[in-house]
């Protein structure tokens, strides 16, 4: 009967069925609880990681450029709280003890907490979907630091792109006899590059964290979906906390921590939902079924 429906309606129906299936599996895998655990560890990791990034990249590029790149990305993750994180990192680096071996080891350890918890959360989702293999303990120990390095390289690249955008922003192009300032196109390219980097980062998470082979196509689909939701939900939550929320009235001086934790939990719900989408698509493919059909359903 459903095949008699018009093609757009049939596609929409299949997408809704698949979305409901993903939501049921996500809740059954305690995805919200897992996201809360990752978000809590991310709250512990974000200042140490930003501190390490600022210290490492400042040896190659002017610190003001690094701060601007970090602020731009943090504004999407933690709206209205990016400056608080950056100020904490700068204050720590200004302290004399920041260069000691103990401080560096502590920063590395606390920076890796969120990545370790994220690996466990993704493994839990895929394990519940039938993937039971486990990664070697040494590789598992090194993986968080590899992701930290990749993130630092991505931030460094965005910093260079931002510097180029600022350099050409004062010039103009002649289009059909009209002089058009290049600042807007340069900023659009920078935004597009940041979004593309986010997609690739999420796709890399979905490729690397699950044990076993994941299709690059599925990883890209999951990364693109998660990046779109990440940006969209970030804007929605920013508007909500700026206009409707009573969190400042309710929590007082604790409001900043509560808001940051809620933002982080929401972000990792999106990231883990992307993993659940890939797990369900992989299960359908393994059973030889179309993407919208549930194995055993």
Query: 227 lies in which domain range?
Result: 19-286
pLDDT score of 124: 84
- Please provide residue 132's backbone torsions phi and psi, each rounded to the nearest 5 degrees: -105, -5
In a domain, 293, yes or no: no
* 199 closest CA partner among 238, 231, 240, 176: 231
Residue 198 lies in a domain: yes
pLDDT (0 to 100) of residue 281: 85
Rg of the chain over CA atoms, in angstroms? 21
pTM over 0.85: no
What pLDDT does residue 143 have?
Answer: 85
CA distances from 28 to 100, 121, 279 (A): 45, 13, 13
pLDDT interval class at 38 (50, 70, 90) = very high
Per-residue tokens: 186: 């340069």
Q: Is residue 294 part of a domain?
A: no
Q: In this predicted model, which residue has the larger pLDDT, 78 or 52?
A: 52
Question: What per-residue confidence (pLDDT) applies to 180?
Answer: 45
User: Is pLDDT above 90 for 266?
Assistant: no
Within-domain flag for 194 = yes
Q: What is the DSSP string of the chain?
A: -GGGS-HHHHHHHHHHHHHHHHHHHHHHTTHHHHHHHHHHHHHHHHHHHHHHHHHHHTTTS-HHHHHHHHHHHHHHHSTTTHHHHHHHHHHHHHSGGGGSHHHHHHHHHHHHHHHHHHHHHHHHHHHHTT------HHHHHHHHHHHHHHHHHHHHHHHHHHHHHHHHTT-EEEETTEEEESHHHHHHHHHHHHHHHHHHHHHHHHHHSSSS---HHHHHHHHHHHHHHHHHHHHHHHHHHHHT--HHHHHGGGHHHHHHHHHHHHHHHHHHHHHHHHHHHHHHHHTT--TTSPTT-
Q: Averaging pLDDT over each range in 143-152, 175-184, 226-235, 278-287, which range is the top one? A: 143-152
pLDDT at residue 8 greater than cutoff 50: yes
d(CA 271, CA 291): 20
In a domain, 292, yes or no: no
Number of domains in the chain: 1
> pLDDT tens-digit profile of 208-237?
777 667 778 888 888 888 888 877 777 777
Q: Is 13 among the domain residues?
A: no
Residue 220 lies in a domain: yes
Instruction: Give 69 or 253, the one with higher predicted confidence.
Output: 69
Mean pLDDT to the nearest integer, 241-245: 69
Residue 28 domain flag: yes
């Amino acid at each position: 009967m459903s095949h008699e429906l018009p093609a757009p309606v049939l596609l929409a129906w299949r997408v809704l069925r698949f979305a409901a299936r993903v939501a049921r599996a996500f809740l059954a895998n305690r995805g919200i609880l897992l996201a809360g655990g990752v978000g809590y560890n991310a709250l512990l990791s974000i200042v140490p990681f930003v501190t390490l990034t600022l210290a490492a990249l400042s040896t190659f590029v002017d610190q003001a450029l690094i701060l601007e790149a970090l602020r731009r990305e943090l504004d999407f993750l933690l709206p209205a709280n990016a400056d608080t994180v950056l100020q904490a990192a700068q204050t720590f680096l200004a302290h004399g003890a920041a260069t000691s071996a103990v401080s560096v080891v502590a920063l590395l350890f606390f920076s890796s907490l969120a990545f370790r918890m994220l690996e466990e959360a993704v493994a839990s989702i895929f394990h519940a979907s039938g993937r039971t293999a486990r990664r070697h303990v040494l590789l598992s120990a090194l993986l968080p630091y590899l992701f930290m390095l990749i993130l630092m390289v991505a931030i460094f690249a965005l910093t260079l792109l931002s510097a180029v955008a600022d350099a050409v922003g004062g010039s103009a192009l002649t289009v059909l006899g009209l002089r058009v300032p290049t600042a807007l196109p340069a900023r659009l390219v920078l935004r597009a590059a940041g979004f593309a980097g986010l997609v690739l980062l999420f796709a890399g998470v979905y490729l690397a964290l699950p044990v076993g082979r994941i299709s690059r196509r599925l990883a890209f689909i999951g990364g693109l979906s998660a990046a779109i939701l990440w940006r969209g939900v970030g804007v929605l939550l920013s508007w909500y906390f700026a206009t409707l929320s009573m969190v400042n009235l309710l929590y007082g001086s604790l409001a900043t921590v509560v808001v940051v934790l809620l933002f982080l939990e929401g972000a990792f719900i999106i990231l883990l939902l992307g993993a659940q989408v890939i797990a369900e698509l992989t299960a359908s493919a393994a059973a030889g079924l179309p993407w919208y059909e549930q194995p055993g359903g």
